[in-house]
Amino acid sequence: MGHSTTPAWIKRAAIREVREGRELRVDIARDLRLSPTCIAAWVKADIAAEQAEATRGPSPAELELRAVTARLAELEAENSAWRQAAAGALTRLQSANPGSGSAEAPSDAGARGLRPEAGISEPSPLGSIPVQPQAPEDLA
C-alpha cells in the first residue's frame, strides 16, 4: 500500500488535482488508501522538480535545437533570395531576347551554358543562362 506500488499516472493525476485546487489532499489520500502525508510528499517533490527544472537552464539538446532552427531560418532566407535573384535574371534575359523561347529543349552546348551561335563561348555559372564575354577595360 505504499507510494512505490502506486502507478505513475495516478501519482501525476493526484498531484495535478491537489496543485490545481480541485480536490483536497485528505480526500485524494482517502480515495487512494494512502496517508495525507504521502500525497503531500508527492506534491512537495513535484514542486521541487519544477523549480529545479526552471533554474537549470536549457539542456544541450535544447541549445542544439535552437541553433539548428536558427540556421534553418537563415538558409530558408538565403534560398528565397537566390530564387528571387534567379527569377529576376530569367525575366531580364527573356525581355532582352524576346525571340528565344524557353520551351525548346537546349542542345548539349546550351545545357553547358555555351551558345556559339550568339558569340558566347564562356560557360555560365548559372547553367543555361549565357554570360557575355567582357573585355578587360569593361570590367573597370
Whether 131 is covered by a domain: the verdict is: no
Whether 72 is covered by a domain: the verdict is: yes
Residues 6 or more apart whose CB falls under 8 angstroms from that of 33 comprise 1
Structural domain tally of the chain?
A: 1
The whole-number pLDDT of residue 48 equals 93
Whether 27 is covered by a domain: the verdict is: yes
CATH of the domain at 61: 1.10.10
Please compute, for residue 20, the number of CA atoms within 13 A of its CA located in the half-sphere on the CB side.
7
* Mean pLDDT computed over 97-109: 57
Whether 45 is covered by a domain: the verdict is: yes
* Domain containing residue 18: 1-79
pLDDT: is 53 or 105 the higher one?
A: 53
Contact 102, 110 (CB under 8 A): no
The whole-number pLDDT of residue 3 equals 44
The whole-number pLDDT of residue 6 equals 85
pLDDT in tens, 37-86: 999 999 999 999 988 887 887 888 999 999 999 999 999 999 999 999 99
Please compute, for residue 15, the number of CA atoms within 13 A of its CA located in the half-sphere on the CB side.
19
Around Cβ 38, how many Cβ atoms within 10 Å?
19
Q: Which residue's entry shows cell 535573384?
A: 85
pLDDT: is 30 or 119 the higher one?
A: 30
Whether 5 is covered by a domain: the verdict is: yes
Whether 11 is covered by a domain: the verdict is: yes
Report if pTM > 0.75.
no
The whole-number pLDDT of residue 63 equals 92
Whether 139 is covered by a domain: the verdict is: no
pLDDT in tens, 11-45: 999 999 999 988 888 998 998 899 999 999 999 99
Whether 116 is covered by a domain: the verdict is: no
The whole-number pLDDT of residue 2 equals 45
